[in-house]
Amino acid sequence: MTKTCTLPRHQSQYQVVGRFVPNAKYDEANPQCKVYRMNLFAKNKVVARSRFWYFVSRLCRVKKVNGQIISVSQISEKSPQRVKNFGIWFRYESRTGTHNAYKEYRELSLTAAVNAMYQDMAGRSRAKACAIQILETKELKAADCKRPTVKQFHSSSIKFPLPHMISKTPKAFKTTFKAARPTTFC
């Protein structure tokens, strides 16, 4: 019997730590051999390592050939049972050019908010996941939120009414067939 191996479908948050490997030209004390730490969103550890080298080679001039990864660890949410507001600043490539954007989401975890952002950008702007670069993420207080779609849930008197409820018929009056439609306005 063959075992099926499936990759995770959604993004997870990873912390990748790496550095430039000391050599004859650059010793340990050299500022070139600094340790770099980066928080990334990726589908798995392999993609997280690849994204780390992509960004570090652009920002710090350290290539994968001259560097080493010290650790890769997955970051989990501290309180996944509580609903929080998240702000995400990101940059994406569209058909017309590069755009900076900011979106707010109300989710249980940061990774859920990032997944919602990827889905939202795919649906609204046709932006592929590889064309999106997350610049910053932040957990927001209710007073810091700007978008009305998130702010509408901050009211303490919020209600979710169920307007069309079909009332239960007592067992004495139940029949298999009824001549009249049930009324849904109670």
- 117-152 tens-digit pLDDT: 999 999 999 999 889 999 999 999 999 999 999 999
- Could you tell me which residue, 167 or 67, shows the higher pLDDT? 67
User: Where residue 172 falls among pLDDT bands split at 50, 70, 90?
Assistant: confident
Q: Please, what is the average pLDDT of the chain? A: 89
User: Quick one: average pLDDT of 152-157?
Assistant: 91
Instruction: State the burial class of residue 86 (Cβ atoms within 10 Å of its Cβ: 0-12, 13-18, 19+).
Output: buried
Q: Would the pTM of this model clear 0.95, i.e. be above it? A: no
Tell me the per-residue pLDDT of 24-72, one tens digit each, with 9 for 90 and over: 888 888 877 889 999 999 999 999 999 999 999 998 888 899 899 999 9
